[in-house]
Chains A and B, each alone.
Chain A
Amino acid sequence: MKPGHGDVLLTEGDPGVSEDEERLIEEFRRQLDAGMWAAVPTAAPGGRREAVMVRDFAEVPRDAEQVIFFPPAAGG
């Protein structure tokens, strides 16, 4: 998520392919090092939409379709 733009695709790939996984991990770390928060949308049984916050690439579910990065929250 980016001010003035909406979402921007940073990178994509299949984590089952080692080259892709390396690129995904690198981008994941770059975003977290920049202070961004990362969330993975999920669907609970019954269709209820949820999201989990992740702080390490290993926490991203293998079947995740997307990881969304956004600026960290601050008291307004």
Chain B
Amino acid sequence: MSALAASSMFIVLAGLAAVAFGPSVARGLLERLPRRRRAEVIPAYDPGRERRAERRARELMRSVVGPEDCRMYEDLGFLRVLGPTAAVEQGGYGYLIYPHRPIVAFDAESGELLSEYCVAFPDGGQPRGGERLPDADDVLAKWMALHGDEHGLIADANMHLVGRQVDPQHVRRDLRRLAEWEAQRMRPQR
């Protein structure tokens, strides 16, 4: 038998062996894994974990963005970041930051929606807790990246016209809600 035929036979036999014994071998290997490693493969369901994580994330957000902006997030479900001061004086622009949804840029004077920037902060090294940051952490990460390196973040994002992932009507309604929220907070309390 030639060397080529012998190697073909080996591959076929190996393939057949994998079909015949594969499941039992895999089961045996899984049983040999330490219990802790197996627990990481299949995370235990904990209905309170996400809630606790979100609570911690909001505390961190409050310490970073301040109580007023944190209140904005708690009341409205998003944060607003205005562009550099000079740009605002010339009309300028701003961003609405939603959890796990694209950042939406808008004209700060007219309220016209400009574009949406799809960006995420996936943590592939954390199988136990899943890949998604808590909502408030996702918003805070975008907030810090916009403040610290706006151009870098925008360059990393996928830019689209508004309407690809976010509903323009929804964003316009959020801008109106934001204006009402700010007006209400400016009004003197009786």
Contact = CB atoms under 8 A, between A and B. Distances in A.
A47 interface: yes
Contacts of A71: 121-123, 133, 141
A57 to B, nearest CB: 16
A30 to B, nearest CB: 13
Contact of B148 (A39, A47, A66): A39
B177 interface: no
B66 A49 contact: yes
B180 interface: no
Contact of A53 (B55, B102, B121, B144): B144
- Counting contact residues on chain B (CB < 8 A from A), the size range is 35 or more
Contacts of B147: 50-52
B139 to A, nearest CB: 11
Contacts of A68: 60, 64, 140, 144
Interface string A32-62: 0010010101000001011111000000000
Interface residues of A, number: 26
Interface string B24-60: 0000000000000000000000000110111111011
Nearest to B82: A48
Given A1-B60, A51-B148, 17 more contacts: A1-B141, A2-B133, A3-B126, A4-B53, A4-B126, A6-B55, A7-B57, A39-B144, A41-B64, A51-B64, A53-B144, A53-B145, A53-B149, A74-B120, A74-B121, A75-B119, A76-B119
Closest 3 CB pairs of A and B: A4-B129, A6-B56, A53-B148
